[in-house]
Amino acid sequence: MNSILKITEAYHFAAAKHVGQRRKGVAEEPYVNHLTEVAELAARATAGADIEVIVAAVLHDTVEDTQTTFEEIADRFGDRVAGLVAEVTDDKTLPKAERKRLQIEHAAHASQGAKIIKLADKTSNLRAMAVSPPKGWPPERRAEYLDWSLRVVVGCRGSNAWLEGQFDEAAAALQPPKTARD
């Protein structure tokens, strides 16, 4: 399939699946804004060379957060895209703490494409935390989220220097300012 067709189809598919969903932040951005950001980061990181990684980035939250199945993604976008989405999808039958622990554990064994999507996703989430923090999250909860994101990303390091730089910048923006004595 022509790559422009594939990418526009993925956007249309994801927008329809996430219709009505909003981000957790105080600005309540439409959910699709997160998908466009993650896909753009993945596209820049790969210089647009790996269409399937970009398509999977657009679709990365469809199975976790909507009624989409992996079969549906495989039918429309192919097995590699479905596999990439599977690599970045949490098993929602598990308790939250276990899902978070598994993300840290799985990151190091993920494929190169999945590591890029994961890095882009965490970068987008940290950027959102700086400009539109989730409603009702006290500073400790935000600090905990940052700490966990940093631990997941340890396993993704070495996959894409530019994207790691974007993540590090987003993380640094959330660190408390250092005092002169530090």
Please answer whether residues 81 and 90 qualify as being in contact, where contact means their C-beta atoms are separated by less than 8 angstroms: no
Based on the residue annotation, tell me whether 64 is a catalytic residue of this protein. Answer: yes
Catalytic residue among 65, 72, 90, 168: 65
Based on the residue annotation, tell me whether 75 is a catalytic residue of this protein. Answer: no
Write the burial class of residue 179 (CB in 10 Å: 0-12 exposed, 13-18 middle, 19+ buried): exposed
Q: Is the CB of 52 or the CB of 61 nearer to Zn ion? A: 61
Binds Zn ion by CB under 5 A, chosen from 37, 52, 121, 164: 121
Cα torsion 140, 115, 16, 128: sign: positive
Q: How far is the CB of 38 from Zn ion (least distance, A)?
A: 6
Q: Is the CB of 1 or the CB of 130 nearer to Zn ion? A: 130
Residue 61 contacts Zn ion per CB under 5 A: yes
Q: How far is the CB of 30 from Zn ion (least distance, A)?
A: 13
Applying CB under 5 A, what is the total number of residues that bind Zn ion?
Answer: 2
Residue position matching structure tokens 């657009």: 58
Separation between Cα atoms, residue 153 and residue 157, nearest integer Å: 6
Q: How far is the CB of 114 from Zn ion (least distance, A)?
A: 13
Catalytic residue among 64, 72, 90, 168: 64
Task: Using the rule CB under 5 A, give the single segment among 101-109, 113-121, 135-143, 153-161 that binds Zn ion.
Answer: 113-121
Task: Using the rule CB under 5 A, give the single segment among 21-29, 120-128, 154-162, 170-178 that binds Zn ion.
Answer: 120-128
Residue position matching structure tokens 């554990």: 105
Give the residue among 60, 49, 50 at the shortest CA–CA distance from 84. Answer: 60
CA 53 and chain centroid, separation: 12
Write the burial class of residue 143 (CB in 10 Å: 0-12 exposed, 13-18 middle, 19+ buried): middle
Residue 87 contacts Zn ion per CB under 5 A: no
Residue 52 contacts Zn ion per CB under 5 A: no
- Helices 51-58, 31-45: crossing angle, 10 deg rounding: 160
Q: How far is the CB of 180 from Zn ion (least distance, A)?
A: 38
Tell me the catalytic residues: 64-65
Residues that bind Zn ion (CB under 5 A): 61, 121
